[in-house]
Structure 1
Amino acid sequence: MPDRGFRNDMKSLSIVCSLCTWNGLYKDYEEHLKTSHPNPICEFCEEQFDSTIRLEEHKQKECTKITVPCALKEYGCLDSVYRVQLQEHYLSDIHQKTIVNFIRRLMSKGTNEQYERASGMDVDIGQGASSSITTTTNENISTQMQEVYDDMQYLSNDGTFIWKITNFHEKMMDAQYERQTWIDSPPFYSSSNGYKMRARLYLNGDGNARHTHMSLFFVLMRGRNDAILKFPFNYKVTFCLYDQTPDQRHIIDSFRPDIRSSSFQRPRSEMNIASGIPKFFPLSMIQQEGNPYVRDDTMFIKIMIDFGEMPKTLLPYALSLNPGLPTNVQQYIIKQEIERRAQPQTLEQHLTTNQ
């Protein structure tokens, strides 16, 4: 973690504004942004925003006028297209040939069954290329391959996810210099057929919490089975920042979705607007030398969706359980603890009734 001397060095560091020709000291940069760029404009689509952070988020995730490389660039698909044209690009012959090769490489590490699925798709592509219904066939192939790829990417499908954040120091500096103001967790799921979601962390804070707290948010994503799921999403979300010492003084906070907010309606785009806890954890504590939450330049955050209305008083106990235990074992232990805590109350009620 940066010490006081390092932070002082940062304040005296020369910096060039990414929005104009201004250059000066890092400590004066925020004031420059407020006075000279209170409503920055996207140079690609000319949309106006209320902050540079929001502009950066727009440019990285939303702007339809920005060209983006294909996700399989390193596997040979070298096309760059507008974001709005990605779906069309995914159905092109060059992309489908690349994705077959990509899945073959993934399957080489998987099971024979998975490999057979990929090989079958390869055959379908060959047939589709010579068919009079190429477009329909290609769409089906693309859908099947996306499902295979999604299946292999499932990191969790029980409504809980432990997010390991490595290179913490580097990511914090990126946030402070506004090179990358937030980071996203990998997607995870409430069940194998359930809601798709992720967490978003602003290491240097967002909005009113900027420069004072880490901001931690929940993002509902568009999933394959949304058409049969119930919306708005109305389940309590709990975040836990792990204390990596035997003291286990974890930082735990929860919020319940506002069902009137668009953040928790059925997603119509890739992701809904993030919502959560802006002042999750003070930066003054995470920047202390030897703090228990960052060890070996790594931080762990658990995201847990509460489908069973777990009592708030039980959360510290539930989150202190060994994460290596299977979910069903953890649930059984929690159930036993609930019953144990209920026994004194039951006995007291029994004694009161008999008096």
Structure 2
Amino acid sequence: MAAIMLWKTFVEPFVCPYCGAKSDKKEDHLQELHADLECADCHEHFFAINSFEEHRQELCIHRSIPCGLPDCMNSIKWYEMKAHYLTDQHQHILLIIILKYMSPRSQRSQIQNHCEFMKQEYHDLRNSIDVTFSVYEILLNNMAHLQVEKQEIKTNFERNFSKIDELKKCNNENEEAVKKLSETQNNMQIQVEDIKRMREESRILTLDDDSTTTLPFNYSNTPSFSIQSLKFKTSQYGYTLGFRACSTIELQQKYLSLFLTLYNGDYSNLLPYPFLYTIYIALWDQSNQQKHIVYVLKPNPNSTAFIRPTTEKNDEFGIMKFCPLEYLTDSKSIYVKDQVFFIRVFVDFLNTGQNPFQSKDNIEDNVELMSETTTMMTD
């Protein structure tokens, strides 16, 4: 029962088929906006008041309209108007009006009025003609100027159009030239990079007066890396050597390992071999605390790494586990500054046995001697 009452309460609103409007009361909406109006003469039905009034006043052939003739007060059906004009009553009234205007006094007065009216109309017409002719002359002059401008514009357009073709041709040629220049520039850039790389690779350091050199290594703090150093000579006519620094892993522990390479130089045939000079290698402390990590390398005369080179270079000599890799990766590392760490090298040609890289700590604890377990690496 409650559902029935609720359905009655929320009944769907009426949607008007004429205007699409929604209304709760269909009869009121149709009566107010779409009244069922019937023409009393032709009995045609209308739902819009505007349409109904237009039909009654202008369209219905059964509508009654006045005759229009003075003294004829009849209202005639529109479709009967022609027949009304031929009736005796209409003809009689028309004749009386004609006779009234045909009287001499009335005719003279009407003629004079017509003459004055025609004079005024003639005067106005002359003025209008004069104004029209003056405007026409101005328009003719303007048209002549426009014709000249049109011809100039056409000439300029044709000239510019031909120039556009030339410009397009030049533009295409310029694009091809720019493309070639771009390719040439790219090739030159590649060549410059190659030259820089070759120059950097061919750059060779020389030990200073203290038989020491410093090798920089650019380090980007990556977990795995292998960085080749610059080559260095022991003297102008001496041995040529180089180092490679890389990360290694042993038993899940990461280390910094160094690999020494002996190169075939211009004067290798004049130098004594095997290379037997002691080399001191230090990972340099950049905090001025003198906490350098030093390795003393005493070459083994039986190692192929130190014999006279017969090819471009000998096998690498590996200094495995030079130091834990965390010495470099630590954010507070004293060995890395501005993403660069340094390896200093001293060659003891005089066999003094003295470590030139003395530090505040007991350096003997950091020095390691080469043993049979030292790994030999190849390229």
* Higher RCO (C-alpha under 8 Å, 6+ residues apart): 1
The answer, yes or no, to whether TM exceeds 0.5 is no
